Chain A
Amino acid sequence: MHRKIKLALAAATTIGALGALVLVPGQLALSADHLDPPARTDPAVDPTPDFDTDIADLYAFYDDTNLYLIETWGGPAATNLAGFFDPKMVHTINISTAAPATTPEISISFRFGVGATPREQGIQLTGLPGVNGPLVGPLEQILSKDGVRVFSGLRDDPFFFDAQGLKDSRATGVLSIKNTRDRFAGLNASATVIEIPRSRLGGTKLDLWVTTARLGGQL
């Protein structure tokens, strides 16, 4: 009995909330960082969106031995598209391992280059802790040097969320968010994955952030 009442209440309130929804001006647009900032990276706003520098997500986790960093960008991308590895940009993953949290003790930068043909692409990373000089190698392969491993290439976009349900709900006034629908499903993103031995970090309390930049500024 109580549960039925609650259900009815929920349904009624849902409709009421939808009515008020349009009036809520807060920008709780749900993405991790995909298509942000809109004026530079969102095709709905910018006629020349800079997908190569559009950070999608940053992940940081660890096990007993290693710290793992994953940056994705240029997503969610249709599955017929190549990855976004423009040579004229640089990505930098910053890690502060000691106070203050705002100054990185470790800054790992990477950029991309091409070989004999445009499709032959490589990555160059600098600032990897404990690695002597830059790490250079082809995309789509696991690279290693001085105890650090790197993979860069096109992968499945790992983020999950029903953005379409939100969009439909707002447009129609009918609640249609589903936890069975994922806006990022079936789409790809460009990615760089880095494995660093924990012993290289010099600290256990980390602050991490990533930035992207382009020669001459955004497209």
Chain B
Amino acid sequence: MNTIASTATRRSLFAATSLALALALSACGGGGGDNGGGNVSVTPTPSPSPSPSPSPSQSPTSRNVSACLSQVIPGTGGATPASLVIPDTIKLDLTQPAGFPNGRRLEDPVIDITLAVLLLDMTKHSPALLASLPLNPAANDKPFLSTFPFLAPPQGTPPLSTGTGTSFAFQTEPTSAFVRVDREGQPAVATALVGAALRNAYNDANPSDDVAGVFVPEFTNQLTLIHNGLADDLIALGLTPCSK
């Protein structure tokens, strides 16, 4: 069995690329902060206030996204978007081939795959459709190392630590004395499926909260909003959305 990531074969269909570009672009509406677009800087310039999370539309034409969360993703041995993000942990089966969503390798095109499985009907489209174009850059700008520690050396000429030996002063408080700031399991779950109003709560929560269903309504609301805006476009582009 091959993983989605490893079966993403490239095609040079310009038309398909255009379709996918429009598709993904539309999918990326909204957003308050500049996630991924903001650079880490030492002199931040804050905007006046965070954008509030929009309320889900309850119009009569609202799409039903339940199939998007429950559809089986081909090539995964039965995984669904819901099973992959509830709880929000990376799933890695060491008896199956490595590659997202079975674990996550550095080279895996996780965004293109995630977009495909959340937007498209997996009985009609491949989870590798967007990655096969590719929609986004297909690889990192610097080659990864084939051996430990795998990550490419830093770019530019940043000041690097010069420590030696083992004589360092560490805080001695137990881990429990520290206050949670961030959490991550699967890539892009918080940024794609959790609205701004719940972002802090989501990052403060634990996988047990995910399993208890705390964020299922939010996932559904956010995905519904996305599909309400997108379904017509997907259909016009000759694609079949997973929502009804």
Measured CB to CB, the residues of A under 8 A from B are 3, 6-7, 10-11, 13-14, 16-18, 20-51, 53-55, 57-62, 67-68, 70, 72-83, 85, 87-90, 92, 96, 100-103, 109, 111-117, 119-122, 124, 136-140, 142, 149, 151, 153-156, 158-164, 166-167, 169-170, 175, 177, 179-188, 191, 193, 195, 198, 201, 204-218
Q: Say which residue of A24, A124, A154 sits within 8 Å of B158 (CB atoms).
A: A154
Q: Of all chain B residues, which has the CB nearest A177? A: B21
Say yes or no: is B125 at the interface (Cβ < 8 Å to chain A): no
Task: Check B89–A7 contact: CB distance below 8 A.
Answer: no
Task: Check A101–B182 contact: CB distance below 8 A.
Answer: no
CA–CA, A120 to B46, complex, Å? 32
CA–CA, A40 to B195, complex, Å? 15
Complex interface residues of chain B between 210 and 244 (CB less than 8 A to chain A): 210-211, 222-223, 225-226, 228-230, 232-233, 236-238
Provide a sorted-by-A list of 24 A–B residue pairs whose CB atoms are within 8 angstroms: A18-B26, A22-B29, A24-B26, A36-B184, A36-B199, A37-B200, A37-B203, A47-B46, A57-B187, A61-B99, A81-B40, A114-B163, A119-B163, A121-B168, A156-B141, A177-B21, A180-B137, A184-B36, A188-B156, A193-B149, A195-B148, A207-B207, A208-B92, A211-B180
CA–CA, A155 to B54, complex, Å? 37
Given the known interface contacts A14-B21, A79-B157, the answer about A27 and B195 at a Cβ–Cβ threshold of 8 Å is yes
Nearest CB of chain A from residue B125's CB, rounded to whole Å: 16
CA–CA, A124 to B212, complex, Å? 34
Say yes or no: is B98 at the interface (Cβ < 8 Å to chain A): yes
CA–CA, A114 to B32, complex, Å? 36
Residues in chain A near residue B160, CB distance under 8 A: 82-83, 139-140, 153-154
CA–CA, A15 to B213, complex, Å? 38
Q: Say which residue of B15, B30, B151, B157 sits within 8 Å of A80 (CB atoms).
A: B157
Q: Say which residue of B17, B188, B225 sits within 8 Å of A24 (CB atoms).
A: B225
Residues in chain A near residue B192, CB distance under 8 A: 27-30
Residues in chain B near residue A88, CB distance under 8 A: 171
- Interface flags for B129-167 (1: CB within 8 Å of A; 0: not) read 000011111111110100011111111111111111111
Residues in chain B near residue A37, CB distance under 8 A: 182, 190, 199-200, 202-203
Task: Check B98–A61 contact: CB distance below 8 A.
Answer: yes
Residues in chain A near residue B141, CB distance under 8 A: 156, 160, 182, 184-186
Given the known interface contacts A18-B25, A89-B178, the answer about A31 and B35 at a Cβ–Cβ threshold of 8 Å is yes
- Counting from the closest, the 6 A-B pairs by CB-CB distance are A79-B156, A31-B36, A24-B29, A43-B44, A24-B229, A122-B168
Task: Check B22–A14 contact: CB distance below 8 A.
Answer: yes
Given the known interface contacts A43-B38, A209-B207, the answer about A50 and B92 at a Cβ–Cβ threshold of 8 Å is no
Residues in chain A near residue B200, CB distance under 8 A: 37, 39-40
Q: Which among A20, A43, A109 has the greatest number of chain B C-beta atoms within 10 A?
A: A43
Task: Check B153–A156 contact: CB distance below 8 A.
Answer: yes
Residues in chain A near residue B149, CB distance under 8 A: 70, 142, 151, 155, 191, 193
Say yes or no: is B47 at the interface (Cβ < 8 Å to chain A): yes
Task: Check A28–B29 contact: CB distance below 8 A.
Answer: yes
Task: Check A82–B168 contact: CB distance below 8 A.
Answer: no
Q: Say which residue of B33, B178, B208 sits within 8 Å of A214 (CB atoms).
A: B178
Complex interface residues of chain B between 70 and 104 (CB less than 8 A to chain A): 87-95, 98-99, 103-104
Q: Say which residue of B29, B34, B35 sits within 8 Å of A21 (CB atoms).
A: B29
CA–CA, A39 to B199, complex, Å? 8
Task: Check A62–B98 contact: CB distance below 8 A.
Answer: yes
Task: Check B175–A13 contact: CB distance below 8 A.
Answer: no
Q: Say which residue of B32, B153, B236 sits within 8 Å of A13 (CB atoms).
A: B236
Q: Of all chain B residues, which has the CB nearest A201? A: B94
